[in-house]
Structure formats: C-alpha cells, structure tokens
C-alpha cells in the first residue's frame, strides 16, 4: 500500500470513528431525554389535551425503542470488521428519531402543521433501518 492510500485509509478510519462516537453521544442524549421527558409526561403533562398526550406518548415510545435499537446496532457495528450496511442502519435510526419523534414533539408543542410532512420520512427511515438489519443478519450474522 502506498503512502497516499495509507493516508486516505487513516482519514477514512478517523472520520468513521468520529461518526460512531457522535452517534453514541446521540444515543446517550436521546436515552436521557426519553427518561426525563417520559417522567414529565407521566407527572406534569396531565394538563395537555388527551390527543396531544397520546401523540407525545407515541413519539416517546418510538424514541425509546429506536434509541435502544441504535445502541445495539452501534455495538454490533463496533464488533464487526466493517459494514456499510450497519452504518447505514445507524444513520437511518438517527434520521427516524429526529424526523418521526422530533417532528411529533415540535408539532405537539408549537402547532406547526407544515413540519408534520417530515413525519412519514422518519417512519420510512425506521423501516429502512430494520430492513438493513435484516439484510445484514441474513448475510453476515
């Protein structure tokens, strides 16, 4: 391997490490938010309209599950040699959490109906992430 290729490989490895660390930080923040927001919703969110409470509870449930899925996928990716499929699944989980859950939170508190058009993209990102895990499991588990 010549020196140019070695440098490219080191840069690629470093950027991948930064991306994975950033996603793990996202997992920690998302998990913490889920716990704190869930506690607030259970104890202080009772004054909200029932429909808003229901929407927030759905977003919170999806955020919890997919934060755990993202964490598990990051652990799998860390133990795997290298997998673009697993990395893509991680990115899709992050997009899903932000576009599905995040948009529901924003829409519930700020009544921005126009932002609701992003919610289906979050749902599609979640579905894609799960399909990518199935594909990776079929081929490399």
**pLDDT per position as a tens digit, 24-47:** 999 999 999 999 999 999 999 999
Tell me whether residue 100 is in a domain. yes
- For residue 45, being part of any structural domain is answered with no
- Give the C-alpha distances (Å, rounded to integers) separating 65 from 31, 41, 52, 93: 10, 17, 20, 10
The per-residue pLDDT of the chain, averaged, comes to: 92
| pLDDT over 80 at 133, yes or no | yes
Is 73 domain-assigned?
Answer: yes
- Tally of domains in the chain: 1
pLDDT digits (tens, 9 = 90+) for 10-29: 556 777 889 999 999 999 99
pLDDT the model gives residue 141: 82
123 falls within a domain: yes
Q: Within a domain: residue 37?
A: no
Among 67, 66, 38, CA closest to 53: 38
Contact 83, 140 (CB under 8 A): yes
Average pLDDT over residues 53-61: 97
Q: Is residue 88 part of a domain?
A: yes
How far, CA to CA in Å, does 40 sit from each of 47, 96, 137?
A: 11, 23, 37
Q: Which two tokens stand for residue 20?
A: 């994975």
Give the domain extent around 132: 50-141
Q: Give me the numbers of helices (H) and strands (E) for the chain, helices first please.
A: 5, 0
């Amino acid at each position: 391997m010549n020196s140019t290729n070695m440098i490219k490989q080191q840069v690629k490895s470093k950027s991948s490490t930064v991306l994975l660390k950033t996603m793990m930080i996202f997992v920690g923040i998302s998990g913490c938010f889920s716990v704190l927001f869930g506690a607030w919703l259970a104890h202080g969110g009772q004054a909200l309209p029932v429909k808003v409470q229901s929407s927030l509870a759905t977003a919170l449930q999806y955020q919890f599950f997919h934060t755990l899925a993202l964490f598990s996928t990051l652990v799998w990716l860390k133990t795997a040699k290298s997998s673009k499929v697993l990395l893509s699944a991680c990115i899709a989980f992050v997009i899903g959490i932000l576009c599905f859950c995040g948009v529901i939170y924003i829409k519930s508190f700020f009544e921005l109906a126009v932002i609701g058009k992003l919610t289906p993209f979050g749902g599609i990102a979640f579905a894609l992430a799960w399909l990518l895990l199935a594909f990776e499991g079929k081929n490399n588990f």
